[in-house]
């Protein structure tokens, strides 16, 4: 029945009212038109003595609907498993990113200290050079 039940996707439900001689209240009913069902899935219709489509075998339609429901339910379960796996992966990636950010910030701090130390050393050398220059020589 796996693929056979997919025929229900081609069925077109309708609303209708039975003729007064069958239903005096003419309450709105819902169903399928036997002739249309016969075009899609001939096994789903009952036929009269002349072989004409006369009724829909709703018990068969119900079984097909259940089969399609179960297939979709299995897909939902599979998707939920994938979602859970993805959530775990996302959490792991977030932790990895946090670790990497911490390492980068640590490295930046080291580089900043090193650059500050180099700048201070250059300033110290420059000031030492100025003090050692005799200004009288250049006059």
Indicate whether 35 pLDDT > 80: yes
pLDDT at 1: 76
Percent of the chain with pLDDT over 70: 83
pLDDT tens-digit map of 60-102: 999 999 999 999 999 999 999 999 999 999 999 999 999 999 9
User: 47 versus 134: which is more confidently predicted?
Assistant: 47
Coil vs helix vs strand at 46: strand
Identify the CA nearest to 62 among candidates 133, 1, 132: 1
**Secondary structure, 3-state, 70-131:** HHHHHHHHHHHHHHHHHHHHHHHHHHHHHHHHHHHHHHHHHHHHHHHHHHHHHHHHHHHHHH
pLDDT tens-digit map of 38-64: 999 999 999 999 999 999 999 999 999
pTM, two decimal places: 0.62
Name the strand (E) or helix (H) holding 59.
Answer: helix 58-132
Q: What is the CA radius of gyration of the chain?
A: 41
Token digits of residue 59: 């018990």
Lowest mean pLDDT among 1-10, 35-44, 50-59, 112-121: 112-121
As a whole number of angstroms, the distance between CA 44 and CA 39 comes to: 10
* Residue-by-residue DSSP string for 5-37: GGGGGG---EEEE--TTT-TT--EEEE--HHHH
Q: Of the ranges 11-25, 58-72, 101-115, which is most confident?
A: 58-72
Can you tell me the mean pLDDT for 95-113? 92
């Amino acid at each position: 029945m796996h693929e056979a039940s997919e025929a229900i996707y081609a069925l077109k439900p309708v609303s209708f009212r039975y003729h007064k001689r069958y239903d005096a209240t003419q309450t709105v009913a819902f169903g399928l038109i036997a002739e249309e069902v016969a075009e899609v899935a001939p096994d789903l219709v009952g036929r009269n003595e002349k072989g004409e489509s006369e009724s829909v075998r709703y018990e068969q339609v119900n079984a097909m609907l259940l089969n399609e429901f179960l297939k979709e339910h299995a897909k939902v379960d599979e998707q939920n498993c994938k979602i859970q796996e993805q959530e775990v992966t996302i959490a792991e990636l977030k932790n990895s990113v946090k670790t990497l950010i911490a390492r980068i910030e640590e490295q930046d701090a080291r580089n900043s200290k090193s650059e500050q130390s180099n700048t201070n050393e250059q300033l110290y050398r420059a000031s030492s050079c100025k003090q050692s220059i005799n200004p009288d020589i250049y006059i």
